[in-house]
Amino acid sequence: MGIKTALPAAELGLYSLVLSGALAYAGRGLLEASRDGAHRKAFRESVRPGWEYIGRKMDVADFEWVMWFTSFRNIIIFALSGHVLFAKLCTMVAPQLRSWMYAVYGALAVLGTMGPWYLLLLLGHCVGFYVASLLGQPWLCLGLGLASLASFKMDPLISWQSGFVTGTFDLQEVLFHGGSGFTVLRCTSFALESCVHPDRHYSLADLLKYNFYLPFFFFGPIMTFDRFHAQVSQVEPVRREGELWRIRAQAGFSVVAIVAVDIFFHFFYILTIPRDLKFANRLSDSALAGLAYSNLVYDWVKAAVLFGVVNTVARLDHLDPPQPPKCITALYVFAETHFDRGINDWLCKYVYDHIGGEHSTVIPELGATVATFAITTLWLGPCDIVYLWSFLNCFGLNFELWVQKVAEWGPLAQIEASLSEQMSRRVRALFGAMNFWAIIMYNLVSLNSLEFTELVAQRLLLTGFPQTTMAILFVTYCGVQLVKERERTLALEEEQEQDKEKLE
CB contact burial 26-62 (16+ within 10 A = b; e otherwise): bbebbeebbeebeeeeebeebbeebeeeeebbbbbbb
Picking from 76, 85, 110, the residue whose alpha carbon sits closest to that of residue 317 is 85
Per-residue model confidence (pLDDT) at position 3: 58
Q: Can you give the pLDDT at residue 46?
A: 87
Query: Residue 244: what pLDDT?
Result: 85
Neighbours of 422 (CB within 10 A): 15
Question: Are the beta carbons of 182 and 216 closer than 8 angstroms?
Answer: yes
pLDDT of 110 over the 70 cut: yes
Integer Rg of the chain from CA: 24
Percent with pLDDT over 90 in the chain: 44
Residue range 482-495, pLDDT digits in tens: 998 988 888 888 88
pLDDT tens column, 379-416: 998 889 999 999 999 999 899 888 888 888 878 788 87
Amino acid 195: pLDDT: 92
Mean pLDDT of the chain: 88
- Give per-residue pLDDT as tens, 123-179: 999 999 999 999 989 999 999 999 999 999 888 888 888 888 876 766 777 888 888
Residue 504 pLDDT grade (very low, low, confident, very high; cuts 50, 70, 90): low
pLDDT band at 65 (very low <50, low <70, confident <90, very high): confident
Whole-number pLDDT of residue 169: 67
pLDDT at 1 over 60: no
Instruction: Convert the pLDDT of each residue in 220-273 to its tens digit.
Output: 889 999 999 999 888 777 778 888 888 899 889 889 998 899 889 989 999 999
For residue 108, the model assigns a pLDDT of 93
For 407, other C-beta atoms within 10 Å of its C-beta total 14
Under DSSP, the state recorded for 222 is: P
> Residue 18 pLDDT more than 60?
yes
Nearest C-alpha neighbor of 114 from the set 171, 71, 181: 171
Distance CA 260, CA 121 (A): 39
Most confident of 65-79, 183-197, 325-339, 358-372: 183-197
pLDDT in tens, 463-482: 888 899 999 999 999 999 99
**How far is residue 429's CA from residue 265's CA, in Å, rounded to a whole number?**
32
**pLDDT > 70? residue 313:** yes
Which is nearest to 479 in space by CA: 419, 421, 439? Answer: 439
- Residue with the bigger pLDDT between 173 and 288: it is 288
Question: Residue 375: what pLDDT?
Answer: 94
Cα→Cα distances 63→68, 180, 206, 447, Å = 9, 20, 35, 14
Q: Is pLDDT at 43 greater than 90 in this prediction?
A: no
Contacts of residue 187, defined as CB under 8 A and 6 or more positions apart, other chains included, come to: 125, 126, 129, 145, 148, 207, 211
**Residues with Cβ within 8 Å of residue 21, at least 6 apart in sequence:** none
Q: Is residue 443 within 8 Å of residue 337, measured between CB atoms?
A: yes
**Mean pLDDT, range 28-37, rounded to an integer:** 91
58: left (phi over 0), alpha (psi -120 to 50) or beta: beta
At residue 94, the pLDDT reads 83
Q: What are the tens digits of pLDDT across the range 429-455?
A: 999 999 999 999 999 998 888 999 999
Report for 17-21, 91-95, 152-156, 319-323: range of highest mean pLDDT: 17-21
